[in-house]
Amino acid sequence: MKVGVLGGGQLARMLAIAGKPLGIQLICYESIENPCANSVANIIKGDFNDENALATFAETVDCITLETENIPLTCAEFVAKQRALLPNEFTLKITQDRLYEKECLQSLQIPTAKFHAINTWDDLETALNTFNYPAILKTRKSGYDGKGQAVIHDKQGAVNAWEQLKSHELILESFVNFASEVSLICVRAKNGEVKFYPLVENEHREGILRLSKAPFIHPILQKKAENYANTLVTHFNYIGVMAIEFFVMGNELIANEIAPRVHNSGHFTIEGARTSQFENHLRAICGLPLGSTETIGFSAMYNLIGEEPVREKILSIPNTYYHSYGKAARPGRKLGHITINALSEDALNDSVANYLKIIK
């Protein structure tokens, strides 16, 4: 079985590693030289608008998936004519645009922050009259890891944000004063079966995910999240792994973002669950039965951002696993991650304290 992946970054890399034992070979389509999946997958280099290269890619594979939603929709629509695109191009159209995504969530009665489409300065001025400060102005497309957004605290902030972002299609969102951020990773098989991992609690800094802890045990929120996720995957006729990020407000969840792919907050599943999100994504899109999403103990996943720590020290912490993505160091770049696992929350906290002492 040959699976094509639009993108060749670390998510493709981890998918490719998960595919090896299953006899599933990955072929990544990438516009950049030497993407980090290149030591585990075949790479076809091409621009995402190059229909000749895309056609060659599509012909090479049995089905196509993606590791980023930031690809031109035309590219997805083009390859989907040749091979099954899983998840489908409709899902991509909605989830790559914050406005469509919010409208979709709203139409499905899934709570979101208040939002407004912004095309002109007048739109922004008018919308701000009905929003409380702070509010967040975001590009509708291509934002990730906190890029393409500005927090507006006052009128002058609105002017600055507009100047910064006005060349894009925009959305204004109200600021949610959340207690915590969680995400739900789920996977839907071709036969319609859906499995859910337990909620993960996430900490961001400077817009980038730093830490995920799982399981976040809260039966009421788990149930709500699963219901919302089920509604979404049914609506999209979704196949594969999907992640939904939520803000927690007491016993309520406010949906923030949908990722139509394996997700950074699901990396803990490699060691911390009976089947990793990567294997389950491949099982789903290849028509294989899903694996168990039960967790093993308690996990904390730290992203390695900008630099990689000394592996010798990190690996001396019990049940700690190192994942290098084979990338050159660069400030703000995700270079790898570390998963710390333990059979009790206390033991996990001890190991985490140990880890934080080592890396500081």
Residue ranges that bind a copy of itself, judged by CB under 8 A: 13, 17, 20-23, 25, 39-40, 270, 274, 283, 287-289, 291-292, 296, 311-312, 315-316, 318-319, 321-324, 326, 336, 341
Structure tokens at 7: 């993108």
The least CB distance from residue 214 to a copy of itself, in Å, is 17
Nearer to a copy of itself, 274 or 357 (CB): 274
The least CB distance from residue 318 to a copy of itself, in Å, is 6
The least CB distance from residue 76 to a copy of itself, in Å, is 27
Question: Residue 351 belongs to what H/E stretch?
Answer: helix 345-359
Q: Is residue 85 a contact partner of residue 74, using CB atoms and an 8 Å limit?
A: no
Find, among 111, 115, 134, the residue nearest to 123 by Cα.
115
Rounded Cα distance between 231 and 241, Å, is 14
Find, among 147, 146, 149, the residue nearest to 162 by Cα.
149
- Sorted by sequence, the CB contacts under 8 Å of residue 205 that are 6+ apart come out as none
Nearer to a copy of itself, 209 or 304 (CB): 304
Per residue in 35-62, is it b (16+ CB within 10 Å) or e — as a string?
bbbbebbbbbbbebebeebbeebbeebe
The least CB distance from residue 287 to a copy of itself, in Å, is 7
Q: What 3-state DSSP class applies to 248? A: strand
Sheet holding 42-45, edge to edge: 42-45, 25-30, 2-6, 63-66
Nearer to a copy of itself, 78 or 321 (CB): 321
Nearer to a copy of itself, 249 or 296 (CB): 296
Rounded Cα distance between 186 and 280, Å, is 9
The least CB distance from residue 22 to a copy of itself, in Å, is 6
Nearer to a copy of itself, 39 or 70 (CB): 39
Structure tokens at 191: 């036969």
The least CB distance from residue 326 to a copy of itself, in Å, is 6
The least CB distance from residue 7 to a copy of itself, in Å, is 18
Nearer to a copy of itself, 73 or 84 (CB): 84
What's the angle, vertex CA 320, arms to CA 314 and CA 326, rounded to 5?
70
Rounded Cα distance between 245 and 146, Å, is 14
Nearer to a copy of itself, 64 or 338 (CB): 338
The least CB distance from residue 21 to a copy of itself, in Å, is 4
Nearer to a copy of itself, 36 or 182 (CB): 36
